Amino acid sequence: MSDANTRSSPGPIATTALGIVHPEDALSVPQTLAAGFQHVIAMFGGTVLGPLLMGFDTNVAIFFSGIATLIFYAVLGGRVPSYLG
């Protein structure tokens, strides 16, 4: 009997029975591009659309989003794999 969360192959490309990607795995190029596009769409809502709806300058929101990202990586040393905004 196999556990559903066990890895099917411990190689550098993420391949599991349920499509689970572990932190030490690497995605294929199409999967990386799809995840990058999904990230852009998620960031658009908070970084561009939000300030537009509230009457703020979008350039300032994007600038401070970049500053917040730099602070995030400086404080945590890049240990957390994802940060939105």
Q: So what's the pLDDT on residue 13?
A: 55
The yes-or-no verdict on residue 60 having pLDDT over 70 is: yes
**Phi and psi of 49, rounded to 5°?**
-70, -40
DSSP letters along 24-60, please? T-B--HHHHHHHHHHHHHHHHIIIIIHHHHHT--HHH
The yes-or-no verdict on residue 54 having pLDDT over 90 is: yes
Q: So what's the pLDDT on residue 16?
A: 54
Retrieve residue 26's tokens.
Answer: 């690497």
Query: Whole-angstrom Cα distance, residue 83 to residue 64?
Result: 14
pLDDT digits (tens, 9 = 90+) for 6-48: 545 545 555 556 677 777 788 889 988 998 898 888 888 888 8
Question: CB within 8 A of 49, min separation 6: which ones?
Answer: none
pLDDT digits (tens, 9 = 90+) for 62-74: 899 889 888 888 8
